[in-house]
Amino acid sequence: MNSTSSPSLDLSRFPRRTLLDGPTPIQHLARLSARLGGADIYVKREDLTGLGGGGNKLRKLEFLIGEALARGADTVITVGARQSNHARLTAAAAARVGLRCELVLTRTVPRFDHDYLENGNVLLDALFDARVHDLPGTANALQFAEERANELRAQGRNVYVCPLGGSSPVGCLGYADCAAEIVAQSHTQNLAFDRIVVPNGSGGMQAGLVAGFVAMGLDPSCIAAFTVLGRAAHTYPLTLEKANQTVQLIDPSLRVSDDAISIDEAQLGPGYGIPTENMRATVRLMASTEGLLLDPVYSGKAFAGLVENVSTGKYPVGQKILFVMTGGLPGLFAYRNEF
């Protein structure tokens, strides 16, 4: 990640409702870096966003809620897995701006204990007064959401439907904006990162970061993801397409090259939301070495990949690696019996 002066990105023409309280900090993990004996590890604290328990989805929601309000919406509907952080933060953002919220949650993850079904994000969804539609794992959540939206529209409501993970091109603008924030912070803190490591779920965060780099005229090849939802062969074209749609929203003349998207599936394990031994060990390592909390579904698996790459020398001494720490803390309570 090299540039002599800090480039900027003007997203002011897009409707936006501020939900963050300013830039999130970048912090050095001195004890963990020393313990692993490889690259220096830094974290971008996207978990330290103030609304609704915090997390990466608030960046996307600034633009999604902005668009919903610009269209005069009175209701927002979104979809996700039962323990979706995106759904929880959509409910919190809706409460903050005075929109009604409905969540279409599917039982995609094969966990049926009380903590998974009722604690964690699900508890918070109820506190934010969202109406939850509880669907089986096989259901088509987006189709259900569209049908529900039409039903509400027939009753005179103005409904905004938000896609899985908030990862429409408009939502991804939030992470293009974060790319500019990271570049500005790396200038002021004099940190040249060799790599920026992220989890990839619905792909919007990686797509947005890559689009932001391309829109600023920077090389996005330092951005690397660990997929936690789909196999790499499935996730790669979807993420590339989202990155292209996002960059073209910013500037229709721009394009993301095929090699700008790097996705590793080594930490996915048996599938989305299914714990792995590496994830459990990494959540414990981070908590006991740095006092920081990863989540079991996204950041725990992705950070496990980072730790492995530092330990095996793929990220060697002398390099600086930035991990985007995305939040998801309520998930720990939903997966209590894994720890």
Residues at the contact surface with ligand PLP, assessed by CB under 6 A: 55-57, 85-86, 165, 167, 199-205, 295, 298-299, 326-328
Residue 152's CB: how many other CB atoms inside 10 A?
17
**What's the closest the beta carbon of residue 156 comes to ligand PLP, in angstroms?**
32
What is the Cα gyration radius of the chain?
19
Helix axes 57-70, 169-188, angle to 10 degrees: 130
Residue among 85 and 185 whose Cβ is closer to ligand PLP: 85
**What's the closest the beta carbon of residue 118 comes to ligand PLP, in angstroms?**
19
**Is 84 one of the catalytic residues?**
yes
SS3 state of residue 230:
coil
Q: What's the length of the chain?
A: 339
**What's the closest the beta carbon of residue 108 comes to ligand PLP, in angstroms?**
12
Phi and psi torsions of 215, nearest 5°: -65, -25
Residue among 38 and 286 whose Cβ is closer to ligand PLP: 286
Residue among 159 and 205 whose Cβ is closer to ligand PLP: 205
Residue among 212 and 328 whose Cβ is closer to ligand PLP: 328
End-to-end CA distance of the chain: 37
| Catalytic-role residue among 84, 186, 262, 299 | 84
**What's the closest the beta carbon of residue 175 comes to ligand PLP, in angstroms?**
7
Q: Is the dihedral of CA 241, 159, 89, 140 positive or negative?
A: negative
Q: Which among 19, 329, 339 has a CA at the least distance from the CA of 174?
A: 19
Q: Give the catalytic positions in this structure.
A: 84
